[in-house]
Structure 1
Amino acid sequence: MQFVSPETSQGTPEVIPNNSFWPEVNLAQYAKVMRSDGTVTPERLKQVVLSAMSEVNTELYAWRERQELLGYNHLDEVPASKLGNQSQRVHHYLNAIWCWVRAVLYERYADYDATASGSKRGTELEKVGDDLWRDARWAISRVQDLPHCVVELI
């Protein structure tokens, strides 16, 4: 039996510019934080990251407009506590992007192995994907200082 590990990406880490309000997204930082092993091609990763950026930016569009009307031209200018050396809003925004990307990749690559063990792994990854979608939703809420969920009694 021989073990073959996934190759690490050989491409140059890329920084994807965002619009003027949102921070850029560093693919090397994503790979470190989300423990990406290079199985996904750099081109595919970039495509999924761009889609995630578009979706998260759209979800936060009205909130961003309100912040710009208040005179804040970039997310890190909006008042917030610091985590490490960055605004917690920037942290949550990037976390939303990264969780969104990882969830999409889990969903798309779950059928990578069609064996019985691959089927079992796909079931396990489904739960991980659900957790990532939840984390993305929570991060989007935290950017806006909203609670994780809203419950109404009927």
Structure 2
Amino acid sequence: MFNGNTVDYRDAPLTNDGFWPDLNLREFQVNRKLPADLDNDMLANALLATVAEINLDLQRLKLRLQATGYPTAAAVPGISINGSTALVSQYKKAVYARAKADLLGEYATLVSRAPNPGQESPDARNRLLAEAAVVLRNMKGLKRATVRMI
């Protein structure tokens, strides 16, 4: 990365469902520090699959917010920075963390460089999945953990 060459990330928009924000493959790659030599189609498929999973997980929240009169996640009031609201930022964080977790299995076979212990350790996937789960629970108004009787 510091050899003077620019990293060429693919600018590929992901059109979402109209409520949740549209995403971009480049933003995902930059935000989650993904190696530039990973196959773009594989990255796009992982991002698309993750968005579908998370949208399904957040369906009740979406319906509740729409019933309250908010046509999009960006319209939900709350703290914001640079035009992005907390809800939109949380959504992106959950999607990008889970998508990267899904891709970690591909690193060992596709990336032709020495392993990065910080990104490719066995518990990196678990940390990313936990990060996404905590954010999703927060979006739903739940605490970090709950106890239920079975």
Q: In structure 1, what residue type is equivalent to 2:73?
A: L
Q: Tell me which residue corresponds to 1:142.
A: 138
Residues 19, 153 of structure 1: alpha-carbon distance in 2 compared, 3 angstrom cutoff:
closer
* The structure with more radius of gyration: 1
* Contact 2:9–2:26, Cα closer than 8 Å, also in 1: no
| Length, aligned pairs only | 143
The answer to which of 104-113 and 20-29 deviates more is: 104-113
Equivalent in the alignment of 1:57: 55
Aligned to 1:55, the other structure's residue is in SS state helix
* 1:80 aligned partner: 78
**Is residue 15–residue 23 contact of structure 2 (8 Å, CA) maintained in 1?**
yes
Residue equivalent to 2:69: 71
Alignment partner of 1:37 is 2:35: yes
- One-letter amino acid of the structure 1 residue matched with residue 134 of structure 2: W
Structure 1 unaligned regions, length at least 5: none
Match of 1:27 among 5, 25, 33: 25
State the Cα distance separating 1:27 from its structure 2 match: 1.3
Aligned residue in 1 for 2:16: 18
Q: What is the TM-score normalised by the length of structure 2?
A: 0.82
Deviation at 1:146, TM superposition (A): 2.1
Q: AA paired with 1:49?
A: L
Structure 2 match to 1:128: 124
Distance 1:24 1:104 in 2: 20
Q: Retained in 2: the 8 A contact 1:9–1:42?
A: no
* Pair 17,63 (structure 1): closer, same or farther in 2 beyond 3 Å: same
Partner of 1:93: 91
Cα distance between partner residues in 1 of 2:147 and 2:44:
36
* 1:13–1:27 contact (8 Å) kept in structure 2: yes
Q: Distance in 1 between matches of 2:29 and 2:131?
A: 17
Measure how far apart 1:84 and its partner are. 4.2
Identity of aligned residues (%): 21
C-alpha distance in 2 between matches for 1:153 and 1:84: 43
RMSD over aligned CA atoms reads 2.6
1:10/1:82 Cα in 2 relative to 1: closer, same or farther (>3 Å)?
Answer: closer
